[in-house]
Structure 1
Amino acid sequence: MAALKEVQRDLENKSNDLNKLQKDIAKNHQVRKKYTIQLGENELVLKELDLLNEDANVYKLIGPVLVKQDLAEANANVRKRIDYISAELKRLDSTLQHLEEKQNSRKEAILELQQRIHALQAGKGKA
């Protein structure tokens, strides 16, 4: 009886851990989606900047004001932003892989605990 309760308690704890991991994975996917969209937008801006002549006027929106910016500076800023976003996406991918490995490990542990519970319950039924 005590062994069964202990295993059930362990199962509950592992299930809670699994739920937390699944929430973390979902959050990771949301953040990754946001960065992927930003990366696409910035790559589009870079293509547009590459089409401009060197003497073209470039403006940057800062709050409610458009501020004139040097084309080379705008180009460098967009490239830095792309580098940063790409690095964040790599970091998120690494974190996601780690979380998914932990999730699979938890699922296996939960399955083993469920099998132990069934075995303990079956043993009780025979006694």
Structure 2
Amino acid sequence: MASSSALRELQRELEAKANDLSKIQKDISKNHQVRKKYTIQLGENELVLKELDLLGEDANVFKLIGPVLVKQDLAEARANVRKRIEYISAELKRLDTTLQDLDEKQNSKKETMLKLQQRAQSLQAGKAKA
């Protein structure tokens, strides 16, 4: 009887760890989606900066604000795009760090679950012999 209650306790613990692992995997998936969005935005902004760099200093630059195109200074437009690129790059670095932490947590949970499964199997094997 003692081994069956220990086995049930191990199974409950295993379920809890499985739920934790599932949450971590959802967080990893969400992180990848956000990272993909930022990567696309970074590419778009780098392309815009290249286009702005091709323009002469006397070129007209317009910014879309709502339904209206507003004339903008070329230097100001370049500065805004550079700031946006810096921000997006910083966010990507933050997401990479978060992803690395989540991967470490995921691996730790998997190892813990494996150990719990092995303990449960050895308890079942011992119970089967008795």
Unaligned runs of 5+ in 1: none
1:112-127 to 2 correspondence within 5 Å?
112-127=115-130
TM-score after normalising by structure 1? 0.99
Separation of aligned partners in 2, 1:40 and 1:20: 30
Question: Are residue 103 (structure 1) and residue 106 (structure 2) matched?
Answer: yes
TM-score w.r.t. length of structure 2: 0.97
Partner of 1:38: 41
1:14 aligns with 2:17: yes
Give 1:72's match in structure 2, choosing from 75, 78, 85: 75
Q: Distance in 1 between matches of 2:109 and 2:65?
A: 47
CA distance in structure 1 between the partners assigned to 2:62 and 2:108 by the alignment: 51
Cα distance in 2 for residues equivalent to 1:82 and 1:34: 13
Deviation at 1:37, TM superposition (A): 0.2
Indicate yes or no: 2:40 matched with 1:62.
no
Shift of 1:64: 1.1
Partner-residue secondary structure (3-state), 1:54 = coil
Aligned to 1:24: 27
Indicate the RMSD between aligned Cα atoms, in angstroms.
0.4
**Amino acid paired to 1:15:** A
Map Cα deviations across residues 93-115 of structure 1 (whole Å, 9 max, x no partner): 00000000000000000000110
Query: Which AA in structure 1 matches 2:52?
Result: L
Residue type of the alignment partner of 1:6: E
